[in-house]
Amino acid sequence: MSDDKGPLAISRRVVIAAASAAPGVSGAGGGALTDPAVARCAEWLALDAEIDRLGVALRVMIHQQGDGYDLFKATREELRTARCPNCGAPACKR
């Protein structure tokens, strides 16, 4: 499915099918014409790279939040009374 759902939107499947149906078309003519599918693929690749970057940043932040708690080794009572080492707030609101 396409990202913007507009009437002229193309999907990844359409791009792949068009590329496999006419493999030499984009290289013909000395590259004077730009294919809109190339721009769309570049946009998808840029979005995918941004999603990967944000995912890594989120994993780093989640890891930093969990440091010092040993949440997977703690008992229920330790979890209930655990405090944030930075601000002293309860780590668990139960």
Compute the average pLDDT of residues 86-93.
Answer: 68
pLDDT tens sequence across 33-62: 578 888 888 899 999 999 999 999 988 887
Question: Which pLDDT score, from 0 to 100, does residue 51 have?
Answer: 94
User: Taking 90 as the threshold, does the pLDDT of residue 22 lie above it?
Assistant: no
| Paired tokens of 70 | 């040993």
* Measured distance CA(14)–CA(7) in Å, rounded: 14
* Measured distance CA(91)–CA(7) in Å, rounded: 49
Whole-number Cα distances in Å, 27 to 10, 11, 23, 41? 21, 22, 8, 16
Compute the average pLDDT of residues 3-29.
Answer: 65
pLDDT tens sequence across 66-88: 665 665 677 778 777 777 777 77
Q: What is the DSSP letter of 30?
A: G
pTM over 0.85: no
